[in-house]
Structure 1
Amino acid sequence: MTGFGRAEGAGHGWTWSVEARSVNGRNLEVRFRGPNGFDALDRAAKTAGQTRFARGQITVGIHAKRVEGGEATVTINAAVLARYLTLANELAEDGATPPSADGLLALRGVIETPEEIEDPETRAALEAVMARTVEAALDALKGSRHAEGAQLAPLLLDFISRIEALVASAEGEAQAQVEAIRDRFSRRMSELAPDAPGLEDRIFLEAAALAAKADVREELDRLTAHVGAARQLMASPPAGRKLDFLSQEFMREANTLCSKSATTALTGIGLELKAVIEQLREQVQNVE
């Protein structure tokens, strides 16, 4: 889900460059950083990002400057300066330090920069051209993310295949688990007094209850279904959020499988299964 896109533009006496960056994120968040006063570009960037992406933290930054020869004269707003000066003199009469020239000029609104005094039509036309550059940078970012996704796809499919193979191995051990429980209780019966009244029936009932509790066929069936669902999602992107949820379901079934395990072999398969699922979950965070 990481990526980078860049685009440049010029017009109406300005030049600018736009950089769009992306990092992993469970949901979509678009942030904008640009020159003061270009509020319309914030809305344009967020709208363009929402139409192109489903997940990730997107940051769009614009660096703009006037071209040579197009620099406007800096203007001092005399009315604002006069109001500040009046207030400062009143404070000085009460004992405050008299205002300095550089201090007054640093106050907000005293100096009007060129972008603050442009006429609305020029500003609107400039923002419209900049907005197209923002879209171009986001398109480049989308291409970068697609390229990353193309590299990740074989890795994700390999994890899914490994999960499928481990589930198949667990199915083979599941039957051995039933036999292990049967052998365990057979030895127990031979060690206890066989002629104790009702003992044999109680042992058989206990064995049946334990065998039912240790039955992992339901978990294996769900894991098999999840494997099929994961392959379908991989074939129909974007599916990152759904794969993220599915990886949690994979882990839930694997945890249950380990808790029900009655043999060392099945426990080993369950632990390996959890490791592969965790690797899948980590990589899914990179998928839109």
Structure 2
Amino acid sequence: MTRSMTAFTRQETQGEWGSLVWEIRSVNHRYLEPHLRLPDSLRELEGPLREKLRQALSRGKVECTLRFVPETQQQTLSVDRQYAAQLVAVAEELGTLVSNPQPINPLEVLRWPGVLLESELDMDAVKKAALTLFNQALADLAQGRQREGAELASLIEQRLLNIEKVVLQVRGRLPEILATQRNNLRNRLAELQAELDETRVEQEIALLAQKADVDEELDRLDTHVQEVRRVLKQKEPVGRRLDFLMQELNREANTLSSKSIVADTTQCAVELKVLIEQMREQIQNIE
């Protein structure tokens, strides 16, 4: 299935530890170029996240941003009683060395580093939740790329149908064009009142017909159109292959234009090039 490289997703979850939000944005790029923005406390997830991206995507500039807001209300304070008791004992011992000892202030003990403890978040649970949420976001991103890819394939199919119509039009006009050129050549010679050498006239007409013969180019255009349709149905990434086919289609359109001997076929060649360029612009966004 055709997949676009342009998509966006936002996924959010909450737990006892707080809230997590993933935002993933992807745009077209020649290769896969991931950019990860993670909180420092979750920086070690970068390796597994990059591997997941490589497995799911093949092309595109992908920006992944993770926001983590800890749940402060769940945090509680506790006292290291053993450490506090040691501090009090040392303070009382020092108090015996002075003539007028002051009573020990509990608040002063709490200010001592290491006495007051804050409950730590379960970061393993946060990391697990972040990875699970990333999988959900990546799946949603892939679905978005598939939906847009289907729209791009539909637009390309419309251009392919128009190309087939132009090719059919040129095929239908070729006999008439050659007959008209044959008559024009004879009329010009008659106006010059020149003695007609039928053999030479036929040679000139044969050269003219050879120059105007574009059956081979038209056949290749039809072949390339069918190949584009076949490639669009493949499951693997097809963007580079389609881009190559656009080059081949454009080459045949240029040859058709160079062989044109009347304005009608020149106009048809121009129309073909416009349709091919429209497809090429759409294909720049296909993975």
- TM > 0.5: yes
Q: Which residue of 1 aligns with 2:255?
A: 256
In the alignment, residue 47 of structure 2 is paired with which amino acid?
R
Pick which of 128-137 and 63-72 moved more. 63-72
- Aligned-pair identity in percent equals 37
Alignment correspondent of 1:279: 278
Radius of gyration: which is bigger? 2
Superposition TM-score, scaled by structure 2 size: 0.72
Alpha-carbon distance in structure 2 between the residues aligned to 1:280 and 1:63:
38
The question of 1:49 aligning with 2:53 is answered: yes
Matched, 1:220 2:204: no
1:136 aligns with 2:136: yes
CA offsets, 1:101-133, max 9 Å, x none? xxxxxxxxxxxxxxxxx99xx666643432222
- Taking the aligned partners of 2:71 and 2:139, their CA distance within structure 1 comes to 26
> Is 2:183 the counterpart of 1:179?
no
SS across alignment from 1:15: strand
Which residue in the other structure is 1:29 paired with? 33
One-letter amino acid of the structure 2 residue matched with residue 187 of structure 1: N
Alignment of 1:180-219 (within 5 A): 180-192=180-192, 194-195=194-195, 204-219=202-217
Partner of 1:115: none
1:240 counterpart letter in structure 2 = G
The farther-off stretch of 31-40 and 50-59 is 31-40
How many residues are aligned here? 240
Q: After TM superposition, give the deviation of residue 37 of structure 1 in Å.
A: 5.6
Contact map agreement 2:17 2:126 (CA 8 A) in 1: no
Scaled by the length of structure 1, the TM-score of the pair is 0.71
Q: C-alpha displacement at 1:164, in angstroms?
A: 1.0
SS at 1:164 equivalent: helix
Q: Which amino acid aligns with 2:275?
A: V
Unaligned runs of 5+ residues in structure 2 are 78-119
Shift of 1:167: 0.9
Secondary structure of 2:261 counterpart: coil
Residues 173/35 of structure 1: CA separation in 2 closer, same or farther (3 Å cut): same
Counterparts of 1:162 and 1:44, CA distance in 2: 46
Write the mapping of 1:81-160 to structure 2, written as runs, cut at 5 A: 126-160=126-160
Counterpart of 1:91 in structure 2 is none
Shift of 1:50: 2.1
Deviation (angstroms), 1:20: 0.8
The runs of 5 or more residues in structure 1 that have no matched partner are 74-117
Confirm or deny: 8 A CA contact 2:9 2:140 kept in the other structure. Answer: yes
SS at match of 2:39: coil
RMSD, matched Cα: 3.0
User: In the TM superposition, what is the alpha-carbon distance from 1:27 to its structure 2 partner?
Assistant: 3.0
Question: Contact conserved, 1:15 with 1:67, CA < 8 A, in 2?
Answer: yes
Q: Which residue of 1 aligns with 2:94?
A: none
Q: Secondary structure at the match of 2:36?
A: strand
Superposition deviation, residue 57 in structure 1: 1.8
Give the Cα separation in 2 of the matches to 1:164 and 1:64: 54
Residues 218-243 of structure 1 deviation map (CA, whole Å, 9 limit, x = unaligned): 11000000111122122224433322
1:240·1:285 contact (CA, 8 Å) conserved in 2?
Answer: yes
Tell me which moved more, 220-229 or 239-248. 239-248
What's the CA shift string for 1:126-147, capped at 9, x where partnerless?
4343222222111111111222
CA distance in 2, matches of 1:269, 1:255: 11
Q: Which residue pairs with 2:267 in the alignment?
A: 268
1:156-179 superposed Cα distances (whole Å, 9 cap, x missing partner): 222111111111111112333332
The AA in structure 2 aligned to 1:25 is H
Change (3 A) 1:191 1:229: same
Q: Deviation per CA, 1:249-269: give whole Å up to 9, x if none.
A: 212211211121111111122
Shift of 1:271: 1.5
Using a 3 Å threshold, how does the CA distance of structure 1 residues 195 and 183 change in structure 2: closer, same or farther?
closer
| Higher-RCO chain (CA-CA 8 Å, sequence separation at least 6) | 2
CA contact (8 A) 1:19 1:61 kept: yes
> What's the offset of the Cα at 1:9?
3.6
Structure 1 residues 170 and 127: alpha-carbon distance in aligned structure 2, compared to 1, 3 A threshold = same
